Amino acid sequence: MARVLITGAGMVGCHTARALVDAGHSPTFFDAAPRRDYIRRITGQDIEVLGGDLRDLTTIVDAVNRTRPDAVVHTAALIGEAAQVNPHRGFEVNVVGSINVAEAVRLAGVPRLVHASTIGTNDLSQPQHAPLTEDFPIGSGGRIYGASKVACEQLLWAYSRAYGFELALLRFAGIYGLGHFAGGSGIGPEILGLVRAALDGVPARLGNGMPASYEIVHVKDVARGVAQAATVDTLPHHIYNIGQGVLVEPPDVLAAAARAFPGFTGEAAKPRPDPFPRQYPLDLARSGAELGYAPSFTLEAGLLDLAEDLRIGL
């Protein structure tokens, strides 16, 4: 049984905790403003939550020393527009917070750090000729969130090399599932709103939060990938793609919803112009071979699963 400290009790953090519990491991949360009803709803348990702000090094060091984890999973961050509207706060939470987590890992001698990165680190201004491997060039696209994640990848890699702990940088595709999205998200609320509309029998609308061409993945698949990265015996590499391996456009999402929910009707907003659209999905070969990761939800199956979670109040 592995002890795992998870920063952030949001969608990825809570579903990861559930995946860890299901696999026989022991998670603990570190969160500045935990929503305990949501934690219980997703995990089915009253998992211990240590309160604190990642920007306070002393607090996160105390939490790591108290739990003595075998791995720290760092998911806490501001995403998308939540980071963009206040760049200083976005960098402070995402970059300074991540450095503090790495320092706490170093001071406590934790052997492994798993960091939630993003597909948004791919520099899509570079030529795309095939599914994007972990070696594809990185860049921020001029966005605060992307820049913070590129910085975190570089800084945490340097930290791990300097102090000898294992590092897994997990580049997630756009995630959907049952979440509260307090840290900000575009795709997650769009898909959740679509499924709620389908269940209510009213027309759905995909807004600009859904890109024109993107890769999206169910949070339960992501959670299994994170749990695998935290507990697998060895990490031969330090970067792993976690996605679906398929690109979708808004009409594809609407078509999947129509197959999943009889009588569904919906429309999509005109996508925002994108000078560098995503032309290929993530290459999942490395995460499959080294983590045992494989997505289990097709888009249609994922929408149905989310609908069931909403119906039963999970």
Q: What are the tens digits of pLDDT across the range 102-125?
A: 999 999 999 999 999 999 999 999
Residue 235 has pLDDT above 80, yes or no: yes
* Cα separation, 303 vs 258, whole angstroms: 10
- Asked whether 39 and 211 are in contact (CB, 8 A), the reply is no
Domain at 94, CATH number: 3.40.50.720
In sequence order, what are the beta bridge partners of 239?
169
Q: Is 311 a member of any domain? A: no
Q: Which of residues 92 and 46 earns the better pLDDT score?
A: 46
| Biggest CA-to-CA distance, the chain | 57
Q: What is the pLDDT of residues 149-166, one digit of tens each?
A: 999 999 999 999 999 999
Q: What is the pLDDT of residues 180-208, one digit of tens each?
A: 776 567 899 999 999 999 999 999 999 88
Q: Which of residues 234 and 273 earns the better pLDDT score?
A: 234
| Residue 201 neighbours by CB distance under 10 Å | 10
Q: Is 206 a member of any domain? A: no
- C-alpha closest to that of 56 among 88, 30, 28: 30
Q: How far is CA 176 from each of CA 108, 168, 183, 238, 304, rounded to the nearest angstrom? A: 34, 22, 14, 25, 12
Residue 198 burial class via C-beta count within 10 angstroms: exposed 0-12, middle 13-18, buried 19 and up: buried
* Cα separation, 18 vs 23, whole angstroms: 9
So what's the pLDDT on residue 132? 98
Q: Strands (DSSP E) along 42-86, which ranges? A: 49-51, 71-74
Q: How far is CA 188 from each of CA 137, 154, 219, 295, 306, rounded to the nearest angstrom? A: 26, 27, 9, 17, 11
Q: What are phi and psi of 297, to 5 degrees?
A: -105, 120
**Residues of the domain holding 123:** 3-173+219-243+282-295
CB neighbour list of residue 12: distance below 8 Å, 6 or more residues apart: 75, 116, 172, 175, 219, 222, 223, 226
* Cα separation, 175 vs 187, whole angstroms: 7
- C-alpha closest to that of 275 among 115, 85, 141: 141
Q: Is 194 a member of any domain? A: no
* Cα separation, 274 vs 292, whole angstroms: 34
The number of domains in the chain is 1
Q: What is the pLDDT of residues 284-302, one digit of tens each?
A: 999 999 999 999 999 999 9
| Residue 242 neighbours by CB distance under 10 Å | 29
Q: Is 313 a member of any domain? A: no
Mean pLDDT (whole number) for 267-280: 89
Look at strands 49-51 and 26-31 and give their pairing: parallel
Q: Is 63 a member of any domain? A: yes
> What is the full DSSP assignment across 245-284?
S--B-HHHHHHHHHHHSTT--EEEPPPPP-SS---S-B--
* pLDDT mean across residues, the chain: 93
- Write down the residue that tokens 């935990």 correspond to: 34
**Amino acid at residue number 137:** P
Q: Is 277 a member of any domain? A: no
Q: Is 140 a member of any domain? A: yes
Q: How confident is the model at residue 80 (pLDDT cuts 50, 70, 90)?
A: low
So what's the pLDDT on residue 92? 80
| Residue 101 neighbours by CB distance under 10 Å | 29
Q: Is 16 a member of any domain? A: yes
